[in-house]
Amino acid sequence: MNTPINDLDQDYTIPPTPALRFANPNELYQKIPEISGFTKHRPTEGEDAFAFFERLRGSTTPEDAITYTSFAVEPVIAINWAMEAVRITLPEIPPNEMPLFTWVSQWIDHPSAENRWRTMQTALFAPRRSATVYLGLAVGWSGGALAPNDPVTMPEWRCPKAVNAAVLRALGQVSLDQRSVSMARVLDLAAGLFRVYD
């Protein structure tokens, strides 16, 4: 099949989806002020997203970099990052949590309301709040109605708070002698989001 000459001049490149919710960290702290309750440090005037992330990463509380990533990145991308962080931190997901872990993965690939409701319902009724359960809650609170017959939506800070809890809960299960290595791996994953899209 011959392509018409005028079609050769068309640009069919699809631009990448922005990973960050806001252009800079100061805007994030203004629009979702609840993040201030979870981080010790604050962005400075004119500091860009990656520079702030790196400053948090190198601070005495690198957990702030995890929290910042959880809030700064768009929900689907943040949940995907958190799922990968949990996977590399806890290579063996308990068998009873594998169905929920799989549903989180399915929602990332197909973020439909039905997948979100099924994942959230399972997470809400879980007997304990594990890293996987927090991933499920993050999916449930990622946007949209809470249930088919419930038009109430969650505030913007609930999803990133659950993302943050998932990653920190996973890191909390690592032995102390391996925790800094695991933290570095998780933050390396996060850094890629800021480098590519900032």
The proportion of the chain whose per-residue pLDDT surpasses 90, expressed as a percent, equals 74
pLDDT per residue as tens digits for the range 158-197: 999 999 999 999 999 999 999 999 999 999 999 999 865 4
- Residue 181: helix, strand or coil by DSSP? helix
Helix intervals (H) in 73-148:
75-89, 98-109, 113-124, 131-140
DSSP string, 128-180: S--HHHHHHHHHHTSSS-SBTTB-----TTHHHHHHHHHHHHHHHTS-HHHHH
Q: What is the pLDDT of residue 73?
A: 95
Q: What is the pLDDT of residue 196?
A: 52
Distance CA 118, CA 185 (A): 30
Residue 70 near residue 164, CB atoms below 8 Å: yes
Report the candidate in 117, 104, 107, 112 with the shortest Cα–Cα distance to residue 146: 117
Residues in Cβ contact with 8 at an 8 Å cutoff, skipping those fewer than 6 apart:
none
pLDDT per residue as tens digits for the range 10-54: 555 544 556 899 989 999 999 999 999 999 999 999 999 999 999
Distance CA 30, CA 183 (A): 28
> pTM for the whole thing?
0.87
